[in-house]
């Protein structure tokens, strides 16, 4: 990963100039010839591949920002979102010597004074850190998450670079929602994820939420051997939640797994108002005894007071096709239109519900329905879409994808006991 700030600024500027040229030069020719604007999908794809190449070249915080963009299909074109999703799978692990040096510096002890075993090969690597299997001297097997060196010093440089690139994009391809505040929020989340103590707090909070439910497993955090850049936690193992054959071999009912999974996230979102916001299949496992393991609390979200009830009212109004209640629920959740035209909310809800055979919301957050929602948001004059709503929608879209892989439905109303 390049640490030179001048180089990183130049790399983003070069990409921004390329994206500028992709949109601006053809628009000049169209104005001169009077030709209409064509389908911009090929241009979006070229721009996204350029941004992806830039992120993979720079690594570090920029990759995390691109991953954040890939979650916002309500704002960014589909082609951009799909291409930038590749950032999730394209981060190679760092060499062992650098990992060993950072762990020893953070813990203030030689590696072998803390761990009797420490695998040189990483179990997994991501945009900000990688995870190694290890064993404490008392015999406990642990997973050690180690942050990449030098990330904190790059955040401000990369934030300025992202703002510059954002202004270029927003100028030449205006969106219904302002992009700069959105990308600033994504980058702010990235900065928060650099402090592993926050992740430890998130995990402890979710564990407390399910303290009365033995069917949910949250890895224990070993604070004595954790810092802001090193997180030592209980090693948990299970069946990958999308591995239908392995679940069947273990004698587990896939339908029950889906139902239990939905109830876990329904409780976090609607009852506790605090949830793990990144439930992709890599973060979810099932023990052969049926308990569901939820890992990785770097991205967790506390919802505003009353948000869960407002979301329930929106879903219920869509289930009963009560348009006045839909408008009220959208407004209370924080949606805003440019000219205060509340009928836009009904159009968005109808767009979502057209995916249902009955013409009403039946409780299933399908990936297609989520896509319809985000398409409708892009096409209508909204000036404010609550980030909390988008995150929750993304969570249920993930859960729907998992359920579909297992051959079942992810029904939020059924999980809440509100199906009619």
End-to-end Cα separation, the chain, in angstroms: 54
Question: Which residue bears the tokens 């407002």?
Answer: 310
Contacts 24+ apart (CB under 8 A), 68-72: 68/183, 68/186, 68/187, 68/189, 68/190, 69/183, 69/186, 71/390, 71/391, 71/394, 72/182, 72/186, 72/390
Give Cα 162 to chain centroid, integer Å: 18
- Neighbour count for residue 186 (Cβ, 10 Å): 19
CA gap 24, 18 in Å, rounded: 10
CA gap 194, 191 in Å, rounded: 5
Question: Which residue bears the tokens 């805003």?
Answer: 336
278 is an active site residue? yes
**Which of 74, 173, 260, 278 does the annotation list as catalytic?**
278
CA gap 110, 103 in Å, rounded: 8
CA gap 251, 249 in Å, rounded: 5
CA gap 140, 105 in Å, rounded: 22
Helix (H, G, I), strand (E, B) or coil at 306: coil
Question: Which residue bears the tokens 């300025």?
Answer: 160
**Residues 6 or more apart whose Cβ sits within 8 Å of residue 135:** 115, 116, 117, 118, 141, 142
Dmax (CA) for the chain in angstroms is: 76
Helix (H, G, I), strand (E, B) or coil at 145: strand
Residue ranges of alpha helices (H) inside 59-92 are 61-69, 78-84
Helix (H, G, I), strand (E, B) or coil at 240: strand
The residues that are catalytic are 278
């Amino acid at each position: 990963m390049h640490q030179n700030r001048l180089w990183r600024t130049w790399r983003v500027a070069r990409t921004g100039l390329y994206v500028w040229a992709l949109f601006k030069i053809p628009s000049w020719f169209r104005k001169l010839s009077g030709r209409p604007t064509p389908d911009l999908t090929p241009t979006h794809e070229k721009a996204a591949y350029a941004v992806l190449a830039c992120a993979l070249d720079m690594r570090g915080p920029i990759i995390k920002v691109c991953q954040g963009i890939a979650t916002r299909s309500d704002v960014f074109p589909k082609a951009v979102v799909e291409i930038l999703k590749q950032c999730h799978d394209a981060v190679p692990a760092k060499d062992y010597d650098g990992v060993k040096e950072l762990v020893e510096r953070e813990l203030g002890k030689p590696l072998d004074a803390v761990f009797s075993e420490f695998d040189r090969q990483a179990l997994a690597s991501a945009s900000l850190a990688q995870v190694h299997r290890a064993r404490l001297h008392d015999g406990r097997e642990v997973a050690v998450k180690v942050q990449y060196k030098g990330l904190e010093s790059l955040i401000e440089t990369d934030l300025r670079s992202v703002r510059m690139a954002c202004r270029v994009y927003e100028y030449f391809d205006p969106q219904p929602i302002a992009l700069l505040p959105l990308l600033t929020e994504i980058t702010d989340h990235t900065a928060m994820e650099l402090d592993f103590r926050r992740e430890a707090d998130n995990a402890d909070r979710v564990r407390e939420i399910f303290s009365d439910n033995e069917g949910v497993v949250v890895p224990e955090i070993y604070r004595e051997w954790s810092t802001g850049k090193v997180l030592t936690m209980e090693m948990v193992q299970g069946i990958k939640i999308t591995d239908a054959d392995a679940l069947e071999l273990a004698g587990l009912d896939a339908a029950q797994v889906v139902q239990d999974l939905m109830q876990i996230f329904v409780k976090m979102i609607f009852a506790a108002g605090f949830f793990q916001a990144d439930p992709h299949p890599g973060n979810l496992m099932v023990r052969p005894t049926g308990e569901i393991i939820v890992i990785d609390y770097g991205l967790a979200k506390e919802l505003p007071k009353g948000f869960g009830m407002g979301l329930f009212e929106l879903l219920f109004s869509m289930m009963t096709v009560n348009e006045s209640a839909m408008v009220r629920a959208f407004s209370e959740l924080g949606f805003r239109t440019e000219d205060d035209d509340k009928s836009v909310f009904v159009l968005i809800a109808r767009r979502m519900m057209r995916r249902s055979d009955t013409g009403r919301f039946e409780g299933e957050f399908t990936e297609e329905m989520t896509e319809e929602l985000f398409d409708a948001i892009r096409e209508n004059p909204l000036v404010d879409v609550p980030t909390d709503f988008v995150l929750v929608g993304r969570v249920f879209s993930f859960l729907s994808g998992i359920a579909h892989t297992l051959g079942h439905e992810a029904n939020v109303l059924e999980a809440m006991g509100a199906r009619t």
